[in-house]
Amino acid sequence: MDLPILSIIVFLPIVSGFALLLFPSERRDLIYRFALAVAFICFVLSIAVYIGFDIEGARFQFIEKYDWLPDLGISYHVGVDGISTPLVLLTGIVIFTGVIISQRIDDRPREFFAFLFILASGVFGVFVALDLFGLFFFYEIAVFPMYLLIALWGWKETREYAAMKLTLYLFIGSVVALVGALAMYFEAGIGSFDMLALEQINFSLGFQQLWFPFVYLGFAVLGGIFPFHNWSPDGHVAAPTAVSMFHAGVLMKLGAFAALRVGILLMPEGAAYHFPWIIALTLVNVVYGAFIAMNQTDLKYMIGFSSVSHMGLVALGFATLTYDGFVGASLQMVSHGVMTALFFAVVGMIYDQSHTRQIPELGGLMKVMPFAGVAFIIGGLVSMGMPGFSGFIAEFPIFMGAWASYPLVAILAVVSIVITAAYVLRAVGGVFFGDIPENIKDHMHDITASEKLALSILAVVLVGVGVLPGVMVPMVESGVAWMSALLGGL
Amino acid sequence: MFGSITSEMILAILPEISLLLLIAIVFIADLVLPTKRRSLLASITSAGLALTILITVLYARPNGSSQLLWGGMLNHDWLAFVSKLIFLTTALFVTFFAANWKGIWQKGEFYVLLLTSTMGMTLVSSASDLIMLFLAIEMVSIPLYLLAGFLVDDDRSTEAGFKYLLFGAMTTAVMLYGFSLLFGFSGHTGFAEIGAAIGAGQIPTLALAGTSILILVGFGFKVSMAPLHFWAPDVYEGSPTPITTFLSTASKAAGFVALVRIMIAVFPAVQAEWTSFVAIAAALTMTIGNLIALSQTNIKRLLAYSSIAHAGYALLGVAAASVLGVTSVIYYFLAYVATNLAAFGVIMIASQTLKSDEIADYAGLSRRSPTLALFMLIAFLSLAGVPPLGGFIAKVLVFAAAVQADMIWLAVVGVLNAIIGIYYYLIVLKVVYLYDSDKKDQPIPSTRLQKGALIVSVLLIIFLGTFFAPWYDLALNGAAGLF
């Protein structure tokens, strides 16, 4: 295909974002329609990439490569493999559904969508980058708009604090990883930032043992790894709905993805050396995150901590260094992304009408917004890892991988499923069943058609992957098979 | 003593000749123009500077390797070329932004002093002889002392000028002492000859290391290197903002160019000593600048401390003392100057309406003037080192230089400082975007020229952060000539 489809996906949002800033601010309708159109194009293009990806084909496809700064070996090099293709699709889904449900942003919508699109470009860029410098470039583009999005449009109570905390955590992580990446660049001595070339370098064992924790943990901060997870629930709660969806649904995957690409693939021996203790951290994520989620009465905090728990499963899957673990973790990134986006979308809709997110203050919403209720329950079933939903397809291999390498970890991690079931069912029961409390009864009504559309898209993916694993699993397996070959077997 | 004057020699100093003519024209115009037509002075100055830039690009381009001209006084190389363009462009922008600035913009002395200082900088950037360098530095500094104290009715401005003079004179004396020691030890004044004499082992290492420190102290003052940074916040705050802009961009860049040139050419024999001194100074400078910036409530003081911190980052590249290191310093200044021009440009425009430099008074700026707020956002994010803006690439390059030179601890100090920087830049942006003010319906006017200058500087920031190969090549050319 001649169309530089990945470049279009990466640059369309940011260019549109800057274009939006030139719109007259009072033309709100026009601004929203333009944003929706751009998001829709991204969505369609990401589907096109997903469909066009040939599982039997080369490891990286849709490759584009141009010189960027030849003197230092920096190139604009993009391409997708079996692991990043589903993530590109995920981003397309979340940006489209996120824009759909942001119709009611009334404070400076022009700036809101502009920053959201800059964020989207950064995210797409990281998923497709095959150049280490390019990866950092897009990674940081993805981080800073979060500050403005949360601080300006977030929940008034905590937004300033949460936005700053999030930004500082993420920047600390990324700059620490940056120093590690520079060290790799000079150690390799090939004068290139190309990750495919760097994968072939066998860094000395001492070097890998020294630098792996910096690079891995630097990125894993964004993946929400314990003990650096604290920014994440605060950020989720303070963010406006579309940003929460983006943040939990996609942004946290950037961390896990970059930790895989730069950490594990470039320094596999360092990974093998350090993972026995890192896996303990991820286990804390999984179990401790679930326990904290159970203690929350605020729906957004509950989902925020459940994200910490589920992202822990992603990190755990990779940390097992097994084939099954990799497959499961890669699938979990997509499954959890869509599921969390759906949760936050529903919570946003509830909050818009009731102005509360406290589970005890809600109830009986199934009667007024059955569609949202069903969607939420689907998300809940995914979260619990029920067979027939994407969560099962993703989590089962993770536990298999864990069992193969660290049986004790597997046993302890499985506990989280029970806890998850407890808090999800409690939330579903408390929010959607029973009677509607008197004080909110009058202003609750059904969600709009466009909101239903957004929820349907998300729910269809969750059920679709669960019922027909064949639409995604073989692709991910092909990506993992290449990695396995690269690492000399998993 | 120069032998016959060749066309090459003339071409090399064409920018200076052009500036000198311009100074004469402005001077005469100031005498003959009636008071109400004085606004023409700004037009003459900017047209002349634009012409000078054009002349520099067309005729004063060095061809290939560096050439020593005018009896070894001047070095006609890429480093000088790039720096001259930076200084001239900065002077041009400052002239634009100074339009309508009460108390200075209709005064011929302002333009004459500004141009004289600029001319001094162009000479600093190519000086390759101790005497030439010293004269050029004084030519930069003396007009700046006057400019800092330009508003004679304003106590803070007078204080700024006087403080700057006292600190400056003292550190210049120290630097001059270093120069005289160098001459005394080697018997030469040309950088190349001194370097050769040192290479031949004529000078005891201890004396040499001491001399290098004396010279570093002198330049450390110019570039506000800790612990010689104390003057900067007071002078920046008290000076008229156009002068502050000039001080924090061109003057600082000039200091760095001369610093790099003399240290690399003269002191390779004691490189280990002076680079470790610079490394420690860099760590101190960044940390002090950033930490004190955290508690500032005045935007000019905040930018003063931020510019101290940025000097620290650029010193990282100096400490690396490698091709990549010098390249990164030059790139740093390309990005830093463009960014600070935009940042100060916004402040100059805003403060004419706000009548205040307090950060709190910037509340609601994004509603009063969304464009101005957006420019401020871009400038401050570039200062914070966020892609796709120039500041990001510049920071990555200096950190890369430090890692390459095996100063990983310094790179780590650098990146941690970058985080502190992000914090206070975001705080300002928060005030601009998040907080409301009761004057939110009053727009903030700006002239077309000011807006144009801002747009150009913002575009420069974005170009420096996205299409960086041409800029990098320019910087690399400049650096390669030194080694």
- CA B432 to chain A, closest CA, distance in angstroms equals 11
Rounded distance, CA B283 to CA B289, Å? Answer: 10
Q: Which chain A residue has the Cα nearest residue B399? A: A179
Report the mean per-residue pLDDT for chain A. Answer: 90
Q: Identify whether B370 is part of a domain.
A: yes
Rounded distance, CA A402 to CA A328, Å? Answer: 10
Residue B2: predicted pLDDT: 58
**Per-residue pLDDT of chain B in tens (483 residues, 90 and over written 9):** 556 788 888 888 899 999 999 999 999 998 898 888 888 888 899 999 999 999 999 988 887 777 788 888 888 889 999 999 999 999 999 998 887 788 787 888 899 999 999 999 999 999 989 999 999 999 999 999 999 998 888 888 999 999 999 999 998 999 999 999 999 888 889 988 888 888 887 788 888 888 888 999 889 988 888 888 889 999 999 999 999 999 999 999 999 999 999 998 888 888 888 899 999 999 999 999 999 999 999 999 999 999 999 999 999 999 999 999 999 999 999 999 999 999 999 999 998 888 888 999 888 888 888 889 999 999 999 999 998 899 999 999 999 999 999 899 999 999 999 999 999 999 999 999 888 877 777 888 888 888 899 999 999 999 999 998 899 999 998 888 888
Helix, strand, coil content of chain A in percent (nearest 5)? 75, 5, 20
Q: Identify whether B242 is part of a domain.
A: no
Residue B22: predicted pLDDT: 95
> Do B411 and A182 make contact, defined as CB atoms within 8 angstroms?
yes
> In sequence order, what are the residues at sequence separation of 6 or more whose Cβ sits closer than 8 angstroms to the Cβ of residue B197?
B185, B186, B187, B188, B203
Residue A354: predicted pLDDT: 86
Which of A22, A72, A166 has the most B C-beta neighbours within 10 Å, making it the best mutation to test the interface with B?
A: A72
Which of B290, B472, B474, B476 has the most A C-beta neighbours within 10 Å, making it the best mutation to test the interface with A?
A: B472
Query: Which residues of B fall within a CB distance of 8 Å from A164?
Result: 423, 426
Q: Identify whether B424 is part of a domain.
A: yes
- Asked whether the whole model's pTM tops 0.90, one would answer yes
Residue A288: predicted pLDDT: 92
Q: Which of A108, A167, A178 sits opposite B415 (nearest CB)?
A: A178
Q: Which of A67, A137, A151 sits opposite B434 (nearest CB)?
A: A151
> Do B434 and A160 make contact, defined as CB atoms within 8 angstroms?
yes
Query: Which residues of B fall within a CB distance of 8 Å from A133?
Result: 396
Rounded distance, CA B83 to CA A356, Å? Answer: 59
Residues of B with CB under 8 A from a CB of A: 366, 370, 374, 381, 384, 386-388, 392, 396, 399-400, 403-404, 408, 411-412, 415-416, 418-419, 422-423, 426, 429-430, 433-434, 468-469, 472-473, 476
Query: Which residues of A fall within a CB distance of 8 Å from B422?
Result: 167-168, 171
The DSSP code sequence of A417-445 is: HHHHHHHHHHHHHHHHSSPPPHHHHTT--
C-alpha Rg value of chain A to the nearest Å: 21
Rounded distance, CA B68 to CA B80, Å? Answer: 12
| C-alpha separations of B357 from A193, A382, B237, B294, B346 in Å | 43, 54, 9, 16, 11
- pLDDT tens digit sequence for A134-151: 999 999 999 888 999 998
Q: Which two tokens stand for residue B391?
A: 């500041």
Q: What is the dihedral of CA A479, A484, A485, A489, to 10 degrees?
A: -160
Q: Give mean pLDDT, residues A161-180.
A: 90
| C-alpha separations of B320 from A193, B259, B265, B269, B323 in Å | 21, 13, 15, 15, 9
Q: What angle do CA A65, A69, A75 make, to 5 degrees?
A: 20
> Do A72 and B434 make contact, defined as CB atoms within 8 angstroms?
no
Residue A421: predicted pLDDT: 92
Query: Which residues of B fall within a CB distance of 8 Å from A168?
Result: 419, 422-423
Position A256, amino acid: A
Q: Note the helical H segments in A22-158.
A: 28-52, 84-100, 109-128, 132-153
> Do A171 and B419 make contact, defined as CB atoms within 8 angstroms?
yes
Q: Which chain A residue has the Cα nearest residue B467? A: A68
Rounded distance, CA B87 to CA B144, Å? Answer: 14
Q: Which chain A residue has the Cα nearest residue B381? A: A144
Closest residue by Cα to residue A398 from A467, A329, A488: A329
Beta bridge partners of A358: A298
> Do A151 and B387 make contact, defined as CB atoms within 8 angstroms?
no
Residue A441 or B281, more confident: B281
Q: Identify whether B449 is part of a domain.
A: yes
> Do B403 and A69 make contact, defined as CB atoms within 8 angstroms?
no
Q: Helix (H, G, I), strand (E, B), or coil: what is residue B64?
A: coil
> Do B396 and A178 make contact, defined as CB atoms within 8 angstroms?
yes
- Domain range spanning residue B292? 270-483
Q: Helix (H, G, I), strand (E, B), or coil: what is residue A322?
A: coil
pLDDT band at A202 (very low <50, low <70, confident <90, very high): confident
> Do B469 and A171 make contact, defined as CB atoms within 8 angstroms?
no
Residue A261: predicted pLDDT: 92
Q: What angle do CA B346, B93, B114 make, to 5 degrees?
A: 120
Q: Helix (H, G, I), strand (E, B), or coil: what is residue B225?
A: coil
> Do A179 and B411 make contact, defined as CB atoms within 8 angstroms?
yes
Number of domains in chain B: 1
Query: Which residues of A fall within a CB distance of 8 Å from B374?
Result: 21
- CA A352 to chain B, closest CA, distance in angstroms equals 21
Which of A10, A131, A159, A182 has the most B C-beta neighbours within 10 Å, making it the best mutation to test the interface with B?
A: A182
Q: Which two tokens stand for residue B286?
A: 């960044």
Residue B330: predicted pLDDT: 94
Q: What angle do CA B119, B121, B125 make, to 5 degrees?
A: 120
Q: Which chain B residue has the Cα nearest residue A146? A: B426
> Do A171 and B400 make contact, defined as CB atoms within 8 angstroms?
no
DSSP state of A366: G
Residue B174: predicted pLDDT: 92
Largest pairwise CA distance in chain A: 69
- CA A324 to chain B, closest CA, distance in angstroms equals 36
Residue A468: predicted pLDDT: 92
Q: Identify whether B160 is part of a domain.
A: no
